[in-house]
Amino acid sequence: MAPDDVHPVSLRCGDCPIRHRAVCARCESDELEQLEEIKYYRSFEAGQTVVWSGDKMDFVASVVSGIATLTQTMEDGRTQMVGLLLPSDFVGRPGRECAAYNVTATTDLMMCCFRKKPFEDMMGRTPHIAQRLLEMTLDELDAAREWMLLLGRKTAREKIASLLSIIARRDAAVQMRAAHGRMTFDLPLTREAMADYLGLTLETVSRQMSALKRDGVIELEGKRHVTVPDMDRLMEEAGDDSDGGFLV
């Protein structure tokens, strides 16, 4: 790790903006003190690779701010986006030496990193961390199943609406706000990245975003600042219920 990758900020766990959702969410004060001893911050610029698939990882981390993508390169050289890492998401796997996917910063990214071996040791004696990591892993599995359903059954318009609703709900959760009514957030992905992630063409993404704007489902300021006048209507456009479940 290059020295200039280490972020100079000194943020205590109790003051962390993702504290209520991160892997340390259930930790008591003495456990947080132990985490303080093995953590460091690392920052990446937009477009910078955090880790390549197959590379050895000597750390695990939580995303504090910014967005990263998970991608996999196929044998013929094509790259497929397989996931997004949003604030509070966990990067790396205890007990696994190498990265399973390429991790790339989509925006400027800051991560709270833990040295892997001390973190693994702490998991063994700290049930709160192991329990929270299990919860997050199960949530990740649910999200993966949701995306399988989305990519297999939804229309292009529903796919775009679904992605917007997921980002809106996650932004609300990090900000500890209710995901209802009028919501405003910054879209972390370019149109090209959205197309890649959803298996659509760039032209289709642009056309559907314009259609959602024209129909009053969303409001756009520039290309990234999104306002949702009525979250329930966006969920309906996505084919989801008010909790994000798929309507059948």
Domain ranges of the chain: 3-138, 154-237
Fold of 154-237: Arc Repressor Mutant, subunit A (1.10.10)
> What is the tens place of the pLDDT at every residue in 173-198?
777 677 777 899 888 888 988 888 88
> What is the tens place of the pLDDT at every residue in 116-127?
999 999 888 888
Nearest to 86 by CA among 174, 14, 212: 174
Per the document, the length of the chain is 248
Section 20-49 average pLDDT: 88
Helix residue spans in 98-190 (DSSP H):
116-125, 127-153, 156-174
Q: Rg for the chain (alpha carbons), in Å? A: 19
Chosen CATH of 3-138 out of 2.40.30.10, 2.160.10.10, 2.60.120.380, 2.60.120.10: 2.60.120.10
pLDDT in the model for residue 3:
39
Helix, strand and coil content of the chain, in percent to the nearest 5, comes to: 40, 25, 35
Give percent of the chain with pLDDT exceeding 70. 89
- pTM of structure: 0.77
* Structure-derived torsion over alpha carbons of residues 138, 48, 110, 137, reported in degrees to the nearest 10: 10
Whether 11 shows a pLDDT value over 70: the answer reads no
Mean of per-residue pLDDT scores for the chain: 84
The pair phi, psi for residue 44, each rounded to 5°, is -135, 145
Nearest to 136 by CA among 5, 19, 21: 21
The pair phi, psi for residue 230, each rounded to 5°, is -140, 105
> What is the tens place of the pLDDT at every residue in 64-119?
988 898 888 888 877 777 888 888 999 998 888 899 899 999 889 999 999 999 99
